Amino acid sequence: MDLKNVYFVIGTSYAGKSTIVKNLAKKHNGIALEENYHDEKLPELDSKEFPNLCYTRDLQDWHEFIRRTPDEYAGWIENVKKECEIVELGMLEELLAKPESKDKKIFVDTNICIETLHRISDEKHVLVMLSDPEISIHRFFDRPDPEKQFLYRLMLEEPDPQAALDNYREILTRICSKEAYDKLENSGFQKIYRDENRSQEETVRLAEEMLGLNG
């Protein structure tokens, strides 16, 4: 693939990945591949080839989802990322082959791993966005998006809601670990740290400078 017009954004939760992808695409008349863009392919995936991605698609009782142990959940998340990478790269290849994508800048909120990004891209086309891991753990259910509120309601329906919430907090602690944060911080790519005092416009300008988009 010719990825000279493709810009990847990776990082932690609550760091502003989705917002920066949308804002950069809007400002540069580009294409935004937003968070979980692989969901578009989910209905057609083979559960034998992509068992972890298809887990939620084929789930009969969502209470099973929140009852998993932190170890089970963390293992599933890692396997989902690997499967997402295959699907997302395939979708990107399809998009780049379309005439309407020619010469368009593409901004991708992605699950593609650091090692693969080093292989297919470079420091001027990958941005890491980071927020304090504690924010992701303690503010997870503060977000108004339907997915997180759905999970929260499921926990409240459990026989012991507090135990369900505590279990999920432990899950988030595993996922948002210092080890995961350090890996992103030491990825070798340019980084933007979450700053509540910085406006969206300022963050866009900072990202443009790092990605060489303001020339």
pLDDT digits (tens, 9 = 90+) for 148-158: 889 999 999 99
Check residue 145 and give its pLDDT: 76
Check residue 69 and give its pLDDT: 95
Q: Is residue 114 part of a domain?
A: yes
pTM of the model: 0.91
The string of DSSP letters for 98-146 reads SGGGTT--EEEE----HHHHHHH--TTSEEEEE--HHHHHHSGGGS--H
Q: Is residue 72 part of a domain?
A: yes
The answer to whether the CB of 3 falls within 8 A of the CB of 125 is yes
Q: Break the chain down into helix, strand, coil percent, rounded to 5.
A: 55, 10, 35
pLDDT at 144 over 80: no
Q: Is residue 91 part of a domain?
A: yes
What CATH number is associated with residue 206? 3.40.50
The answer to whether the CB of 166 falls within 8 A of the CB of 67 is no
Other C-beta atoms within 10 Å of 127: how many? Answer: 24
Check residue 43 and give its pLDDT: 95
* Closest to 105 in 3D by CA, of 17, 6, 209, 207: 6
Residue % of the chain over a pLDDT of 90 = 80
Check residue 61 and give its pLDDT: 95
The model's pLDDT over 169-215, given as tens digits with 9 standing for 90+, comes to 999 999 888 999 999 999 999 999 999 899 999 999 999 999 999 75
Q: Is residue 126 part of a domain?
A: yes
Check residue 147 and give its pLDDT: 83
Q: Is residue 1 part of a domain?
A: no
The answer to whether the CB of 8 falls within 8 A of the CB of 17 is no
Mean of pLDDT values over 146-167: 92
Tell me which residue range forms the domain holding 185: 6-211
Q: Is residue 187 part of a domain?
A: yes
Distance between CA atoms of residues 191 and 17, nearest Å:
12
Check residue 215 and give its pLDDT: 59
H/E run at residue 191: strand 190-193
The answer to whether the CB of 105 falls within 8 A of the CB of 145 is no
Mean of pLDDT values over 35-49: 93
Mean of pLDDT values over 129-147: 81
Q: In what order do the strands lie in the sheet with 31-33?
A: 31-33, 106-109, 6-11, 126-130, 190-193
Domains in the chain, number: 1
Mean of pLDDT values over 100-118: 94
Q: Is residue 111 part of a domain?
A: yes
